[in-house]
Structure formats: structure tokens, C-alpha cells
Structure 1
Amino acid sequence: MFNNFKNRFISAIAPDLPPLPSSEREHQRGALRLGSGQQMPDKFPYARPPFLQLLTADELRASADHNVRPIIVPRDINLLPWGTGYAECVNSGKSEWNEDQASFSRQVLSDPEHNHPDLPYTYFGIFDGHAGYGAALAASHQFHHILHEKLVDCIELLLPRDADSENGKLQLNATFPHPIYFQRRVSKDDLIIGALESAFFHMDSLIAQDRDRYRDAGGCTACVSLFIDGKMYVANAGDSRAVLCQRRAGSGTSAGVTPSTTTEPNKIEPDPVDAAHSYPTAYSADHTPETERERLLNVARLKPHLMGKQYVAMEYAKRPHIKDMGQRILCRQGTMKGWTYKTLTRDDLRMPVVNGEGKRSRLLGTLGVTRGFGDHDLLAINTGIQIKPFLTPHPDVRQRDLSQVVSILDEHNEDGDYGILVMATDGLWDVSENDAVARTVFQTLSRYPKEKHRYTMVAQELVARARGKINDSGHWRLADSKAAATVDDISVIVIPVHQYYKEHIEWTHNYTRELEQRRRKAAEANMAQEAVNVLNGIIAEEAHVVEEQPYPHPQHQQQQQVVVQVEQVPALLRQEQEEQEQRAQLEPEETLVVELSDETPVQAHLETINHTMQKVQLDANVPEETPEKTTATSNKQRNNRKGKGNRQ
């Protein structure tokens, strides 16, 4: 419909020109926006996802053959992590090129201070373009870089922290965050979901900024998955879908299929018991005018100027006609759940904001999706009202904690317990139900129980069933029901969730071991530092004792011996020390005091220290005596001194 509007616009300017092909119309539109004969360039040249390795123009042209619609799979399955499968095929002539795009990225969040090991994560994205491939191509090249920046913004809160439990064991991901940081509790899930949401808005604003420098990119839906910290996050905006296919461990065969007993030995029939044990879990919601009717009508009711008096924010049980004027009609407005009667007026004859049902529902009669990137210049058909105010890039984000999954090793049902995440554009879901996709996944895996490319085979089988086969009339029909197959582009990513969780467990063990080594080294460094501090304290204390206490008490003889060994007496003073000690033994103590008072303060201090050291050495050689014996000896020496004085 949008192409029809462009044709009318160009015809109004140059009515004599024949209609242009879609690619030429895009070039013409770019030239008109420039206001000259020059064409606005594409921001990114058209290409398929890099992991497909379609590098030449001939390979690109072959992948876009609308008559054959070849199914393209990666040449090297090792380029995608965990053996993840991917397959795609082009539309049957809806657009010149395949407007779907896909990408993946493996990154790490590194601690700037290197106090924690790197936190790895893996991202997958799938984008379905409309009105051109520009928006989908830009998102496939740029979105993962934007997401990485958003995760780095809160890296100090995302990196795992440890805390000691009461038993002294290591606990990863301790209580977060600390109460001193925030007034409200914020979990890591909130941070990661916020990073995804803000990345969607940033990507949309980036496309808006590029409008004046590059050719109009159109718009696209976006469905991305993020595997980080042992959890799976899925963010979706648009009608692409992510479904987790699981299987219960049952009494069916381990392969999940039973070989047929017919004459065709290679034919495999599904085991009805095993088929009943497979089930899907939706991890996204389709955002179409039908599913978001309530939000769109509420926006139109609160901001009526956006409708430009061309539309009405009402929903009618029957499309009103001018002949019904003045009659009562069932309707509901805005967020109403039920229906009520009103009298039909002329304003009710305007086109409703949302018209149609199911996949045929349209916003302002133009667009079939209500969330995604781009579409900043898209105008409603016949009215020229801007559609962007009703569109939003806000994604619906859902998460799953893989550490809570219970899987019994003896049952060998890891893929069934953890699930296989299937992300695909609406080309698959238009003709495939979730239950049928889950059955196809496990039936195909059962045919390739140990092959490394088994998940690629699942993706190829899903694309082949949705594409169908072309009949003699040139129409694509489903092989099993002969119903019409999809004519849209199909892109499918098949992700084995268990393979990621095994990688996460290995990283957790390595992180724990590295953290324990860091703790042990830190403890050893602390012990060594404490020993150095104690030794420095002892040395300082001994130096203080030598300087402040020149006459040691006898009970500290052994400690003073150590100090004497540490102190170094100058060689020039040693001889003077011996002479001074001999005079001290023959002369009274008063004489020593007089002599010291006549010397300079430095010499007196040195001789005092020498005298103290000599006394310590002499006292160390004398055995310890009892108080009574010491007193008797002192009295005897006093009497001898008195007798000697009397004789003199």
C-alpha cells in the first residue's frame, strides 16, 4: 500500500512517466529529498548476514531468486556459537531483496579496575524490514554496539560480587545492591532489562538522525535475545516471535520418533507419545494493530490532534455508513472492554484508527505493525497523517533464570528441559503454529542425535515447511495441507539454550577458582604486611628504650643484651670506654659525676651510654642472687670501705 501511495505521489509530479520499479522509486525518492539530481547514499550497502559468507554480487543475486527461493544456511557452522542453527529464504516477489536481517555478537564486560574477572555475554538479533531494507540492515550492524554501551554504563553493578556466608563458603551474586546506594531496591534483572529497553529507543533515534544524510531506511521489527549471567532475556518489538520449544521426558523412544514399518525404509513417522510431550512457551508477544488496539485507541483519545480530523478513536461492531446516520450503533472507545450504544453522527463516519482484524488489521489503514524501528517519514495512505506518533520502539522483555531448571542427567533430556529457542520473522509464524514448530524441532533433532549441525538442520526444516513447494501454476503451497504457503521473507535462528548454560557453569567454576586464588594472595600479602609492621614496631621500641633508659633495670638484662648487640660503638671511643670503666672502679661515684659535668654534653652522653653498656655486660655475667645475699654483700663492701678510710 505504501508503494501505491508513492506511485500516486510521483504520478502527480510527472503524470506522463511510466511507473517505476520498486528500486528505482527508492532512488527517485532520494533524489527528490535532496532537491537535486544527486542520490542520497545508503548508510550500509546491501548484504546478507556476515556468517552466511555470501561475499560476491553473484551469490547475493542467487540468494534473491524469487522463482527458486533457495534456502540459505551458513557454510561454516562454527561461526555461530554452541552450534546454533540459522536458515533463510527470500520472498516470492514481494520485494526485490530479502528485507530480513540477522546478527549475533559475543562480548565481555571487563572491570576497569581488574578486581573481577570478565563477564561474558552472547546476543542474537533478527530484524524484519518493511518499506525497504535500510532499517533492518542498520539495526543488524549497530544495535549490538549500542546494547554493549548500555551494559557498560552499569558495569560496576552487573559484575558478580562475592560475600562470605555463615559457613565461610563462597557465594556468588550476593545481595544487590547495598542499601546505602539506593532508596529503592534494584535487581540485576532490572538493570539488564533497562539496558535492552534503552538500547531500543537509542537505535530508533539513531535511524531518525540519519534521515537527512542517507536514503530513507524505512522501518523494521526487532526481536533479540541476550544470554548473560546464567539467564536468558528476550526483547521483542513487532510481529517477529521467539518461542521456547521444550519436551517432557516420557515413555517414548529416546530418539523421539519410531521408524516406519512400511516399504520405505528412510521414511520416519513421528511418535505420537513423544509428540504429546513437546510443548512451546511464547517468550514474546506480537505487536499488531489487533493486539495493541487498546493502546492505540487510548493514544488517539488523549491526543486527538494526531488524527488530524481524519480518523476517529472508536471501534464499531459494524462499519457505519451514511445511511445509518441518526441510528444507534454498538461501539467502544479507548480502553473500554465492553460495548455500548451511541447515536451515529457525522464524525463517526471517519476512518477508525484501527481497522480490520487479525493479520489484516492496519494502523491508520496503512501499517500492519505497531512497534519497531524507523518509519519516521511514513505517512498514512490517502490522508497524509504521520504514523510515527502511534508507533513505539518500546520492547516487551521477558527473562528466564536457567539456574532454576531441573534436569536429570540419566534422562538425557537437556534440550527438552532447558529448551530450544526459535526466533523467526513473521514469514514463519504466518503459516506455522507454535505447537507445530515445537514438534518439528524435536522430530528433526531425533534424526540427528549426535551430529554437530543438528540445529542447522532444524532451522532448515522449519524454513522448508513454511516456504512449501511451488506448483504448476507458480503458486507456493504447503506440502502437508496444500494450503497457501508464505510469500514473505523467512529467517529462523535456532538456539540450544543448554549449550549456553554449560558454558556459563564452566565460567562460574573458573571465576570461583580465580577469586579464591585472589583471596589467598591477598591474605598472604596482609599477613606479610602485618609481620613487617610488627617488626618495625619492635625495632622502634628498642631504639626508644636505648635512648630514654640508659640505666637498665636488672630484670631486663636479657633484653638489654640484644640492644647492646644491635648498637655499634665507635672504635675510637672503645679505648676511652675501658679507661673510664677502670677509673670508675677505683674512684667514688661523685668523681664520675664531676668529670662528666666538665665535659661537653655530647661526650657526657656517649660516656653515659658506654658506661650503661659495660654495666649491662658485667651484670649479665654475674649470677642472679637472692635479696638476702645481695644485702649482705652490700653491707660487707660498705664496712670494707669504712675500714680503708680509717686506716688512711
Structure 2
Amino acid sequence: MISKVRAAVSGLVGSKSIKPSSQPDSCGTSEKEPPRSDISVPRTPCRPAFLCLTPQELQDCGDHTARVIVTPKTPEDLPWITGYAEVINGGKSLNNEDQACCDYVTVGTRDGKINDCSKEFPTSGQNRNEKQPSANAIFYDVDTEISFYYWGLFDGHAGCGCAMYASRLLHLHICDQLRDLVSILQQPESTPAPIYLANNNTIEQAAGTPTEEKKQPFLETSLRFHLEKQVLSESLVIGAIENAFREMDKQIERERATSKIDGGCCALVAVYLMGKLYVANAGDSRAIIIRQGKPIPMSEEFTPETERQRVQFLGFLKPELLGNEFTYLEFPRRIQQKELKKRMLYRDHTMTGWAYKTIVEDDTKFPLIYGEGKKARVMATIGVTRGLGDHDLKVYNSNIYIKPFLSCVPGVRVYDLTKFEHDANDVLVMGTDGLWDVIKDEEVADTVQTIFASHDNKQQNRYSLVAKELVLQTRGVPKENNWRLPSGSQASVDDISVFVIPLAGLRS
């Protein structure tokens, strides 16, 4: 298993100056082992392999004062002529803590073999798979493999190790989670998933199972269990992505010391599989679809404010996690000793509105969630509530761990491309929070349309031109020892990474 995974990703995780392999990654073997980490994951900061940077270019893009915008050298470097651009922060951290991955992955059944691992990225109009008969399917013959396209942005914090690690392995965890579903996903979309899998992970009738002559249950049992919840294939894919994030986080926890995985990261992932886009987000990065010039949100941000009730509820259930230093209640501001016995505004995990309560001694502890907007923090430490890593993160100058309040499970939204007609100007825009901090969805849509209006549809690098323009607009220009937008307001001084993915070709 390890040797096959190593071979599959050798083009992806090799030298940062080498062009990535055009062969699809694959995890289809008969072994039930998850992706392993001993596959040349870099130990020092580097940039995505698909940028194919020379040593000099790598040095230039790390300059915080110049903040050079980097894009792929040719459109063919990424599947579906995906556009990409990035820029380092304005001195916020030593290195660019964003990472990115873009790949085409083949998924084989656990008991099958990959038919062909040497094909290049399929283009519009090409068949992705040639059907092979399977004796185990009960509806019709299915392939022993499926494929998906994958885009991932990883916004690191407190170091770049976690973002680098996840960018090399998360898509393999998604692949591994999908391996049990290969035959199921090829059934008609309206077909409910089997409640259990047979031993060979295929949909088949178990030997000796009665069909027509089923024993009738007692009346009370029949009344209680006469219906089965129907689970469709879309929900299976969502569950596979959610479990992949969990497994990735567990692997980071196990290997954080030996592999020197520092900090944590927000993760924004898009998976195109069998006609649908699955956008998974854990953190404060965001994605939008622009269709006919209009933005459509495809993710939600997970911050101390958006997840206040979940975090407070955990503090209510397990007060020992608060270390006798925090209160799970929220107040408009810190409580002072002189305010004891006064009635002040508050809310708890059950409330969306506010009410008044009489202040007691415990209320003078620091609030579990404190601050507003981008300044809101969990335990006065971290500004996001979902992501990967952060297993060693503690409240400053204490032994209180913050990880129990952080979730690695993403929110997943689905977009069915087969239900809409798309042209060359319809795109999915994915960006880290460095982009969205200073630009609105409508402004992104306007920029996309402006760039496309001045570049022919046949110009393949038009999507990278859009990504570059979005980064340029939000990075701003140096002025008075700071980075400013044309309006004079504060530009983004964070790392910025952007994917612009054309939707028209994905439907083919």
C-alpha cells in the first residue's frame, strides 16, 4: 500500500521546482490501510508543486515588501485550465502559511484493481472510464473505479506545517473513504444506498437471505419499524468527505511530533464527482459560484460568532474544560467586581437573543467567546472554530487546551452542474480569508465579468488572469509604510490564495 501511494503522489509532493505529474493519483488497492505520511512530505516551507517555481522565483515570492503575485506558468499545469494566484502576507508571519492542491484522483474498489493509472487529465468530451462488467452488481454492470477532480486551499496559522501536511494528504483520505462506495455511486441517483455493505463491498444479495417469504414481525414491531430511512448517494459522498477530514485530523494528531507538524489550518475543498460539486469548508475561507454574473455562496464561515452556541454548549456540558478561568456565558463586555449583584445583559447556549441576569462571582471570569467580528476569539486565543490541527494549542500562560472546542468536520454544500447551463464565464471562486476580508461577493463577480469581457473565450489563461486580478485588488499597493486599496482604506496584509475554476467543462 505504502509503495503504491508513494508512486501515486510522487509528482505532487516532489521537488517544488518540478512540474506535477499528469497521471491521476490513485488509492485503489485491496488493503484497508489509510494514506500514510511517509511519502516525502516537505519538512521546510515550500510553495505548491504545480507552480513549478525556480529557486530564484521561490525567493522572490517570499519577499514581504514586494509581495509578488504568483500564477501557474501555463494553463495546462492545472486540470480544466483552472486559474490560480497567490501572494505572501505583508509581514504578518515569516512564511506564506497558505497552501494549495489541485489534482485528478482515481478511486478503485478495495477488492478491485485500477484498470488504467496512466491516463492524463480528461478534457471536455473525453470518456473518463470505459465500463467493465461486474458480476456482483444487482442493478447493472459497473466500473471498478471512479474519478474525481479536487481543489484544496489550506490557510495555516501558528506555522505552515499543518497546511503543508494536509495539502499533500487530504485528497488521498477522500479517495480512501470513497473506495467502499464505487459500485454504489454508479447506481441510479434515486436508488437508496444499502443499509449495510456485503463483505466484498459490493451491492449484492447475501446468500441464504429470504426474499419473497420473509417472516412477518409482530404487530408492535411492524408499527415501530415499518419504514427505513432512505439515504441517497449524495449523502454518502458528503459523509465520505466529512470522515476524510476527521481521519486527516487524527493523522495530524498522531504524527505531529515525528513529522514536525506545527500549528493548524483552515481547509476549503472542492470535489467534482459524477456531475456534482461538493464544497467542504472548515474555517473562515470561502467559495462562491458566479453564474450569469451573479454570486452564489457555496460555503459558510465557522468563527467564534457563527458557532457561539455550539462552543458555549460544550462549555456548559463540560465545565472542567474551562479550567475555572472562563465562563460559558456571553456578556456585552467584561464584568467588573463592582458590578456584582447588578442586572446585566447576557445570553447562553440556548439563546439567540439577549436577556438580563443578576451578576454573581462566577460571571466575572473571562468569557469563553469574547470580541466581535474578526476580533472575536475562543478563550482569547483563536479566531476560527473549525479546521485541522491545533492539537497542542493552549490558552496563553496556562494548561487549558483549546482543541476540544474546535471541530475538524467541514460544512458541505452541493451544486448539481447538470441542472444548469453554463458558459465559459461561469466559475467557482475559492479564496482564503485574506481575499474575503476586503472584498465582497458582488465585487468579485464584477471583477470576473470585467476580465472576461476583455479576453477571448479561447484564451486559456483567462482564469488565472482573473485570479491574479482578484489578488491584486485585495493586496493593494504599498503606501505610507502600509498596504492600501485605491480608495485609501486598509488592504489585506494576510496571505491570499485564489482558485478560479471554469464550470462549463466540468459538466461534460
TM-score scaled to structure 1, two decimals?
0.61
Alignment of 1:113-192 (within 5 A): 114-115=132-133, 116-117=142-143, 118-158=145-185, 160-161=186-187, 173=189, 175-177=191-193, 183-192=228-237
Change (3 A) 1:485 1:382: same
Give the superposition deviation at 1:415.
Answer: 3.9
Identify the residue that residue 441 of structure 2 maps to in structure 1: 434
Change (3 A) 1:177 1:387: closer
Relative contact order (C-alpha < 8 Å, sep 6+): which is higher? 2
Q: Is the 8 A contact 1:314 1:331 kept in 2?
A: yes
Change (3 A) 1:229 1:344: same
Cα deviation digits, residues 554-607 of structure 1 (max 9, x gap): xxxxxxxxxxxxxxxxxxxxxxxxxxxxxxxxxxxxxxxxxxxxxxxxxxxxxx
**Higher gyration radius (CA):** 1
Alignment of 1:611-630 (within 5 A): none
Identify the residue that residue 66 of structure 2 maps to in structure 1: 68
Residue of 375, 378, 382 corresponding to 1:360: 375
| Cα distance between partner residues in 2 of 1:109 and 1:42 | 22
Give the superposition deviation at 1:157.
Answer: 1.1
Letter of the structure 2 residue corresponding to residue 73 of structure 1: T
Give the superposition deviation at 1:43.
Answer: 5.7
Q: Is the 8 A contact 1:42 1:215 kept in 2?
A: no
Give the superposition deviation at 1:482.
Answer: 1.1
Alignment of 1:498-509 (within 5 A): 498-502=504-508
Residue of 405, 429, 437 corresponding to 1:422: 429
Tell me, which stretches of 5 or more residues in structure 1 are unaligned?
1-40, 162-171, 248-277, 408-412, 503-648
Give the superposition deviation at 1:186.
Answer: 1.9
Give the superposition deviation at 1:177.
Answer: 3.7
Letter of the structure 2 residue corresponding to residue 54 of structure 1: L
| Cα distance between partner residues in 2 of 1:345 and 1:229 | 57
Give the superposition deviation at 1:55.
Answer: 4.2
| Cα distance between partner residues in 2 of 1:459 and 1:496 | 12
Is it true that 1:301 corresponds to 2:316 in the alignment?
yes
Q: Is the 8 A contact 1:72 1:87 kept in 2?
A: yes
Identify the residue that residue 462 of structure 1 maps to in structure 2: 470
Change (3 A) 1:443 1:327: same
Q: Is the 8 A contact 2:78 2:103 kept in 1?
A: no
Letter of the structure 1 residue corresponding to residue 369 of structure 2: V
Structure 1 residue runs of 4+, over 4 Å off? 178-183
Is it true that 1:319 corresponds to 2:325 in the alignment?
no
Q: CA RMSD in A?
A: 2.0
Change (3 A) 1:441 1:469: same
Identify the residue that residue 241 of structure 2 maps to in structure 1: 196
Give the superposition deviation at 1:341.
Answer: 1.7
Cα deviation digits, residues 444-478 of structure 1 (max 9, x gap): 1111122111101000000000000011x221000
Change (3 A) 1:175 1:326: closer
Structure with greater helix percent: 1
Identify the residue that residue 626 of structure 1 maps to in structure 2: none
Letter of the structure 1 residue corresponding to residue 149 of structure 2: T
Moved more, 356-365 or 204-213: 204-213
Is it true that 1:446 corresponds to 2:468 in the alignment?
no
| Cα distance between partner residues in 2 of 1:76 and 1:328 | 64
**Secondary structure in 1 matching 2:347:** strand
Alignment of 1:485-500 (within 5 A): 485-500=491-506
| Cα distance between partner residues in 2 of 1:120 and 1:352 | 47
Identify the residue that residue 290 of structure 1 maps to in structure 2: 305
Cα deviation digits, residues 504-530 of structure 1 (max 9, x gap): xxxxxxxxxxxxxxxxxxxxxxxxxxx
Q: Is the 8 A contact 2:70 2:85 kept in 1?
A: yes
Q: Is the 8 A contact 2:85 2:499 kept in 1?
A: yes
TM-score scaled to structure 2, two decimals?
0.77
Give the superposition deviation at 1:53.
Answer: 0.3
In the comparison of the two structures, how many residue pairs are matched? 410
| Cα distance between partner residues in 2 of 1:126 and 1:402 | 22
Letter of the structure 2 residue corresponding to residue 68 of structure 1: A
Residue of 215, 238, 241 corresponding to 2:260: 215
Give the superposition deviation at 1:156.
Answer: 2.2
Identify the residue that residue 50 of structure 2 maps to in structure 1: 51
| Cα distance between partner residues in 1 of 2:190 and 2:393 | 48
**Secondary structure in 1 matching 2:413:** strand
Identity %: 41
Change (3 A) 1:430 1:174: closer
Q: Is the 8 A contact 2:451 2:465 kept in 1?
A: yes
Letter of the structure 2 residue corresponding to residue 304 of structure 1: P
Residue of 82, 85, 88 corresponding to 1:84: 82
Identify the residue that residue 16 of structure 2 maps to in structure 1: none
Tell me, which stretches of 5 or more residues in structure 2 are unaligned?
1-39, 114-131, 134-141, 196-204, 207-226
Change (3 A) 1:488 1:310: same
Letter of the structure 2 residue corresponding to residue 461 of structure 1: E
Letter of the structure 1 residue corresponding to residue 65 of structure 2: N
| Cα distance between partner residues in 1 of 2:258 and 2:45 | 17
Letter of the structure 1 residue corresponding to residue 191 of structure 2: T
Q: Is the 8 A contact 1:207 1:217 kept in 2?
A: no
